[in-house]
Structure 1
Amino acid sequence: MTTTAAHTAAETDETVQAIYVTALRNTHALEKQAAQMIQRQIERYESYPELTQALRLHKSETDQQVTRLADLLHGHGEDRSLLKDVVTQTVGNVAALVHSVTGEEVLKNLYTDYSVETYEIAAYTSLIALAEEAGHGRDIEILRLSLKEEERMAEAVFAQIVPVTKAFVARETKGEKADR
């Protein structure tokens, strides 16, 4: 291998590593935001016990995902990007506040929850591919565990769309508090 070819291979490895670590940081920030969003929903929902139960389970999983991602970042010699975490969490808090003061809060949050879960599925699928490209096979099983948790939660949220929507309508038509 020539010096130029070796230099190019090293640059390629560094580039792939940088992309992977950036994706880990971004997903870590996303999961921290998701944990906060889930906690706010758990605290607010009064009339939807099945949805609240699914959220409680996933809150625990999400907290574990945050820890696993932090461990992976640490294992790659990186620290979390505090600024990115703060900015991402602030955006999430503003979105939750807007939903909480408008009507149909539970329905809007349900749509948001489903879209977040599918986004997280895409993020973990991409992280697995990046781990493969970067030669970090030991990270893949950890990432697959999180992917499976996100897939389960997406299914659980999807399964709640019709029952929660119907319960919301039933409460509204009876004049009961339906938004939470």
Structure 2
Amino acid sequence: MSHNSEEHFLDWVKDAHAMEKQAESMLEKMASRLEHYPDLKLRIEQHIVETREHQTLVQSVIDRYSTSQSVLKDLAGKISAFGQSIGGVMVEDEVVKGAISGHVFEHLEIASYTSLIAAAQHLNDHESADIFSRIREQEIAMADWTLTHLPDVTEQYLVRSATPGVEAKK
């Protein structure tokens, strides 16, 4: 086990923690504005609970390595521009764009955890690999849900937007 591999691993774990914080913020903003898409709002609220659990689990890996928590790498800053379609100013078709962006963000998380699983296995850290595998399964489930429900969200939006006097965007 090289010291360099462990440093990389810990950097990536810290990135994952920042990513989960960013996910929570984006999901909370989207859920708070949804009024006419109850299935989407409910699933987002469920994933907010999962996301908070992910933060705790990822923090447990950081704590187990007893690293200084002085400054987490700010992955949230790197991806905040990406999240603007979810967390930014409300646009007319935000619910559709937000659902698409949410699906893409889930795949960013899936890829990140896939890499962390490989790194943890490289370091013979089976506990971390198990944690990241559990988190990845929840991210895969959310990505599958968003893809499966994207046609419904799109259809609901189009019907609402074509109906005079009916608000479609949230």
Common topology (TM > 0.5): yes
Sort the Cα spacing of 1:163 and 1:93 in 2 relative to 1 into closer, same or farther, 3 A: closer
* Largest Rg, 1 or 2: 1
Report percent identity of matched pairs.
Answer: 23
Matched, 1:81 2:81: no
Aligned AA (1:140): A
Supply the RMSD in Å over aligned alpha carbons.
1.9
In the alignment, what sits opposite 1:166? 155
Sort the Cα spacing of 1:97 and 1:148 in 2 relative to 1 into closer, same or farther, 3 A: closer
Number of aligned residue pairs: 168
In the alignment, what sits opposite 1:27? 16
Matched, 1:104 2:112: no
Aligned AA (1:134): L
In the alignment, what sits opposite 1:9? none
Tell me how far apart the structure 2 counterparts of residues 118 and 83 of structure 1 sit (CA, whole Å). 20
Tell me how far apart the structure 1 counterparts of residues 20 and 75 of structure 2 sit (CA, whole Å). 10
Q: Deviations over 1:89-112 (max 9, x none)?
A: 8656755453x3322010110111
Q: Which moved more, 1:76-85 or 1:104-113?
A: 76-85
Q: TM-score scaled by structure 2?
A: 0.90
Sort the Cα spacing of 1:161 and 1:148 in 2 relative to 1 into closer, same or farther, 3 A: same
Q: Which has the higher helix share?
A: 1
Aligned AA (2:93): E
Matched, 1:17 2:3: no
In the alignment, what sits opposite 2:109? 120
Q: Which runs of 5+ in 1 are unaligned?
A: 1-11
Check the 8 A contact 2:15/2:72 in 1, yes or no: no
Aligned AA (2:162): T
Aligned AA (1:108): K
Residue among 164, 172, 179 paired with 2:169: 179
In the alignment, what sits opposite 2:50? 61
Q: CA deviation at 1:75?
A: 0.8
Secondary structure of the residue that 2:74 maps to in structure 1? helix
Q: Which runs of 5+ in 2 are unaligned?
A: none
